[in-house]
A and B are shown apart, each in its own frame.
Chain A
Amino acid sequence: MTLTLDAPRIVTVDPLLELHGVNKSYGPVVALRNVHATVFPGEVLGIVGESGSGKSTLLRMMNLEETPDSGSYTLDLPDVDGNLFELDRFARRMLCATRIGIVYQNPHLGLLMKHSSSGNVAERLLVAGERRFAVLREKATDALAASEFPLERLDAPPIELSGGMQQRVQLAKAIALEPALLLLDEPTTGLDVSVQALVLDTLKRLQQDRKITMVIVSHDLGVIRTLADRVMVMRRGEVVEAGLADQIFQDPQHAYTQQLVHAKL
């Protein structure tokens, strides 16, 4: 038995991101069932759950890589109206390139591995219409510096870089256009612990200095605890519980969340 929470009264700005009643099935497999999500400007939302819980599918929908069977998606941004799932392919691509940044667990998904690192970042700027070489170079360098990428390696292709460095190139590409929304899909999974700490620290710094709204998906509860203000717990395509990060970890309500939290080392 718990109390039902009120609508926000102090924070009166509209949410930046809202998902309503999102459903998705792949044949007989239900990937998402009636998912609602709200993220306020400057907030970091963590999504946790085991493999197959639908958390990565949900993130791909936020990046408009997939459309659901039903449901709506809105971003409260100037010149962005209506249900984003209904945009045509061109408008969708433009919105993603200019307003949404994403970092994948697998750098191959986000980068051209044999092009230079600065070129990878500049490509994002090109898509948005920038054509002046000096500006491209300068902005790409700025974004890489903000991601704490070593600038003497600007021209190195990602394929020659370590995993941690590849994630920094992805991050630089994601933030080059100062997106309203940064999506992170297991950004530190597979990195060794010391490199993981560096990437987390960079993300935390970006969050503080730039107030970027973030959604981070991870099965690593430590990562979520470090970064997220609020946490959504998913299981079999459904949101079983959502709340303040410390509340989810210290006073989980749902049986599944209790199991998950107690399984952490």
Chain B
Amino acid sequence: MTPVLDIRGLTKGFTMHHLGQGFAAFDDISFAVAAGEFVLLKGANGAGKSTLLRTLYRSYLPQAGQVLFQSDHGLIDLARAADVDITHLRRTEIGFVTQFLVARPRVSAEALVAEPLRVAGVPAEEALVEARHWLRTFGVKENLWPAYPTTFSGGEQQKVNLARALIRPQKLLLLDEPTASLDANARAALVQRLADLKAQGTAMIGVFHHPGDVEHLIDRVVDLSPNAPATEDRHDVVV
């Protein structure tokens, strides 16, 4: 089967001009992810796990290698795709989930959650109904839905963020520690949503501080530690 994502020889480092030096984040990474497959990234802090996710999403520019994505429009190399193509894919096929909400002044929680659907052309009323469903699922209290999340607690903001990031099924989902500091109910809702998306065929690459949360979803582990074997089956890995 053709993989959804085929990463070949991906390399990323940063140049810090004011220090006149650069440092490597990761070097020559290769692995592939199939539809419905869940890959866990492993490695100590600083091994480049989040950096890899951001590079796949193109928030970071890679320096070498290929990221071949099987899009609805055919195979495209995310490492070299034009900015407008990346913007389009982010709206339609590639999602990124972090633990941080980017709130905007004077935009309600429900409007923020509905936004990805609105951008995809779903009518306002329908998008709002769906948004409220996900806010309820992640345990955001109903009286907060029309409020502005800029003033919410960290935990509530995080739930709004999950509802927003997961409202729309994507072909590829990048997960950067989405469970950190979530309460038990929200964590259970998140794991359930991920399981459903996985069953629907979403390919996932994730970084989790406590992989135990998603243990039953993990198909494969990729270790980014220096000198680690390229990839391992999940069965021989202690998570």
B104 touches A201 (CB 8 A): yes
B73 touches A251 (CB 8 A): no
CA distance A1 to B24 in the complex (A): 12
Shortest CB-to-CB span from B80 to chain A, Å, is 5
Across the interface, which residues of B come within 8 angstroms of A258, CB to CB? 16-18
CA distance A6 to B74 in the complex (A): 15
- Looking at B52-60, B182-190, B193-201, the stretch in contact with chain A turns out to be B52-60
Q: Report if B61 contacts A (CB, 8 A).
A: yes
As a 0/1 sequence over residues 226 to 259 of chain A, the CB contacts with chain B under 8 angstroms (1 = contact) are: 1001100000000000011011001101110011
CA distance A255 to B17 in the complex (A): 5
CA distance A2 to B73 in the complex (A): 25
The tally of residues in A whose CB lies under 8 Å from a CB in B reads 34
Given A3-B80, A6-B77, A208-B118: A11 and B85 interface contact (C-beta under 8 Å): yes
Across the interface, which residues of A come within 8 angstroms of B74, CB to CB? 9
B58 touches A10 (CB 8 A): no
Of the four ranges (under 10, 10 to 19, 20 to 34, 35 or more), the interface on chain B belongs to 35 or more
Q: Report if B82 contacts A (CB, 8 A).
A: yes
Give the residues from 98 to 137 in chain B that come closer than 8 angstroms, CB to CB, to chain A: 104-107, 115, 118-119
Give the residues from 1 to 47 in chain B that come closer than 8 angstroms, CB to CB, to chain A: 14-18
Across the interface, which residues of A come within 8 angstroms of B105, CB to CB? 197, 200-201
A6 touches B18 (CB 8 A): no
Q: Report if B71 contacts A (CB, 8 A).
A: yes
Q: Report if A78 contacts B (CB, 8 A).
A: no
A7 touches B86 (CB 8 A): no
Q: Report if A129 contacts B (CB, 8 A).
A: no
Across the interface, which residues of A come within 8 angstroms of B192, CB to CB? none
Give the residues from 1 to 43 in chain A that come closer than 8 angstroms, CB to CB, to chain B: 1-11, 40, 43
Across the interface, which residues of B come within 8 angstroms of A204, CB to CB? 104, 107
B17 touches A2 (CB 8 A): no
Among candidates A3, A9, A230, residue contacting B61 with C-beta atoms closer than 8 Å: A3
Q: Report if B228 contacts A (CB, 8 A).
A: no
CA distance A40 to B54 in the complex (A): 24
Q: Report if A198 contacts B (CB, 8 A).
A: yes
Given A3-B63, A197-B105, A200-B104: A244 and B87 interface contact (C-beta under 8 Å): yes
A10 touches B61 (CB 8 A): no
Across the interface, which residues of B come within 8 angstroms of A246, CB to CB? 59
Shortest CB-to-CB span from A247 to chain B, Å, is 6
- Which of A10, A198, A230, A251 has the largest number of chain B CB atoms within 10 A? A10
B84 touches A208 (CB 8 A): no
Chain B, Cβ-Cβ closest to A1: B63
- Which of B61, B64, B77, B84 has the largest number of chain A CB atoms within 10 A? B84
A201 touches B81 (CB 8 A): no
Among candidates B82, B87, B106, B119, residue contacting A5 with C-beta atoms closer than 8 Å: B82
CA distance A10 to B82 in the complex (A): 9
CA distance A76 to B118 in the complex (A): 26
Chain A, Cβ-Cβ closest to B62: A3
Across the interface, which residues of A come within 8 angstroms of B61, CB to CB? 2-3, 243, 247, 251, 253
Residues of B in contact with A (beta carbons under 8 Å apart): 14-18, 54, 58-64, 71, 73-74, 76-77, 79-89, 104-107, 115, 118-119
6 A-B residue pairs with CB within 8 Å: A4-B80, A9-B85, A11-B82, A43-B87, A244-B83, A244-B86
7 closest pairs, A vs B, by CB? A197-B105, A255-B17, A8-B82, A251-B60, A10-B85, A11-B84, A246-B59
Residues of A in contact with B (beta carbons under 8 Å apart): 1-11, 40, 43, 197-198, 200-201, 204, 208, 226, 229-230, 243-244, 246-247, 250-251, 253-255, 258-259, 262
Beyond A9-B76, A10-B89, 4 additional contacts (C-beta under 8 Å) are A198-B106, A226-B104, A253-B15, A258-B18
